[in-house]
Amino acid sequence: MKIGVLKETVAGESRVASTPDVVKKLTAKGFQVMLESGAGDAAHFTDAEYKSVGATVVDRQTALGCDIVVKVRKIDQADIDQLSDSTILISLIEICEDDGTLQALFDRQIRMIALERIPRISRAQSMDVLSSQSNIAGYRAVIEAAAHYGRFLPLMMTSAGSAKPARVVVLGVGVAGLQAIATARRMGADVYAYDIRPETKEQIESLGAKAIELDIGESGSGEGGYAKELSDEAKAKQQQMLADELAKAHVIITTALIPCRPAPTLVTEEVVERMREGSVLVDLAAATGGNCPLTEADQVVTKHGVTLIGHTNYPAMMPTDSSNFYATNVLNLLNIMVEKGENGLALKDLDEDEITQAALVRPE
């Protein structure tokens, strides 16, 4: 069974869907790995490294013709016609932002495993790409904040005087938010956090941060561990009650997302106007409209004296580790998709396992 590993073509995307360490494990299991030449260059993995662990370096068309094709981002329209009729595509399909790619794949009867649809159950944790990449985003968000904040994050005492720790507020306590809290605490900041799901309070405090508690009249707990959208009345109440807490922050990191919906507004322009000169806001929801309306996607801008950071692909800023995590998630998924048969590796029925059943994209 052949696996094709494609080079990413989205601007700024430096990750690769498989790494030499993972390719070594795949070839040991009996897979033939066909790597598009240069696929790992941006993540600092050379073709020679892949060859040394058993991969064959090929052109893009050959990689597209494999039994299984793995990518990080959505496949290019131009590549769809080059897929084999029996190909299984494994990647982030980016279903919420479909531009016709899904229908083109359905028309070719290509089976798709959308990694963003891996269910959040215990068995699937080792395959959960969204969580592994969100961990990196939460960490990198704090690094970006520290780089743009013109003062220390921790308490600093020197012979020339002392500096108080920065007050960091994290909004949204999912995977990215928890990692942001942990990273900011390790760097010595005074950290506060808020989430509409009341069950996150214990998680916040376990990391040494302080939970911001607001009574907005309803819970934001949704299915599968995700937040659900609040009513308009609750949103307005939330913004009003949060405003005073946010205005005192030196650094705000927002991570609030609702699947396939615009990001909720948590930091209004009025709050930004009240923040101290030189403060920083890192908006991890910039790709879906931002948790602050002043955020500009893929830009770093200063408004009302506050630096707003709107990067939309933090994992690509750390491509080596991001690719290692991603590739390991895909390897673990392949372990439940394929079994050894009399004539080598054979694909299992994807509807027999709850994980592949949930991730398999079907026409509506």
Pick from 255, 272, 271: nearest CA to 308? 272
Intrachain domains 2-117+319-354 and 134-316 with the same fold: yes
Nearest of 325, 335, 354 to residue 3 by alpha carbon: 335
CATH class of this structure's domain 2-117+319-354: alpha beta
At 174, is the secondary structure helix, strand, or coil?
Answer: coil
Taking phi over 0 as left and psi of -120 to 50 as alpha, with beta for the rest, 251 belongs to beta
pLDDT exceeds 80 at position 98: no
Q: Domain extents for the chain?
A: 2-117+319-354, 134-316
Mean local confidence (pLDDT), 84-111? 91
pLDDT score for 217:
67
The whole-number average pLDDT for the span 24-37 is: 97
Q: Quote the CA–CA distance of 172 and 140 in Å, as a whole number.
A: 16
Mean pLDDT, the chain, as a whole number?
Answer: 93
Higher pLDDT, 229 or 282: 282
From residue 146, give the alpha-carbon distance in Å to each of 136, 137, 249, 344. 16, 14, 14, 52
| pLDDT tens digit sequence for 214-273 | 877 666 555 555 555 667 777 777 778 889 889 999 999 999 988 888 998 999 999 999
Q: What pLDDT was estimated at residue 363? A: 86
Q: Are 193 and 167 in contact (CB under 8 A)?
A: no
Q: Which two three-digit tokens encode residue 247?
A: 């205005």
Indicate the pLDDT class of residue 169, thresholds 50, 70 and 90: very high
More confident residue, 89 or 215: 89
Q: What is the pLDDT of residue 232?
A: 78
Q: Which residues contact 160 (CB under 8 A, 6 or more apart)?
A: none
pLDDT at 224: 54
| Predicted pLDDT at 323 | 98
pLDDT digits 0-9 by tens, 143-155: 999 999 999 999 9
Percent pLDDT > 70 in the chain is 96
Question: Which of 122-131, 192-201, 310-319 shows the lowest per-residue confidence on average (mean pLDDT)?
Answer: 192-201
Structure confidence at residue 229 (pLDDT): 66
Q: Which residues of 3-16 are buried (b: 16+ CB within 10 A; e: fewer)?
A: bbbbbbeeeebbbb
At residue 221, the pLDDT reads 56
For the annotated catalytic residues, the residue numbers are 120, 125, 128, 131, 226
Q: pLDDT at position 218, please?
A: 66
Contact 217, 237 (CB under 8 A): yes
Q: Which of 226-240, 281-295, 343-357 has the lowest mean pLDDT?
A: 226-240
What is 134-316's CATH topology?
A: Rossmann fold (3.40.50)
Concatenated DSSP letters of 319-354: HHHHHHHHHHHHHHHHHHHEEEETTEEEEPPTTSSH
Residue 237 has a pLDDT of 78
Check pLDDT > 70 for residue 85: yes
With cut-offs at 50, 70 and 90, classify the pLDDT of residue 121: very high
Q: How confident is the model at residue 158 (pLDDT cuts 50, 70, 90)?
A: confident
Look at residues 82, 75, 71, 66 and name the one whose alpha carbon lies nearest to residue 33: 66
What pTM was estimated for this model as a whole? 0.92
CA 53, 54, 59, 60 torsion-angle sign: negative
| Alpha-carbon distance values, 75 to 78, 92, 102, 134, 347 (Å) | 8, 9, 10, 21, 22
Per-residue pLDDT tens digits for 293-343: 999 999 999 999 999 999 999 999 999 999 999 999 999 999 999 999 888
The answer to whether residue 101 scores a pLDDT higher than 80 is yes
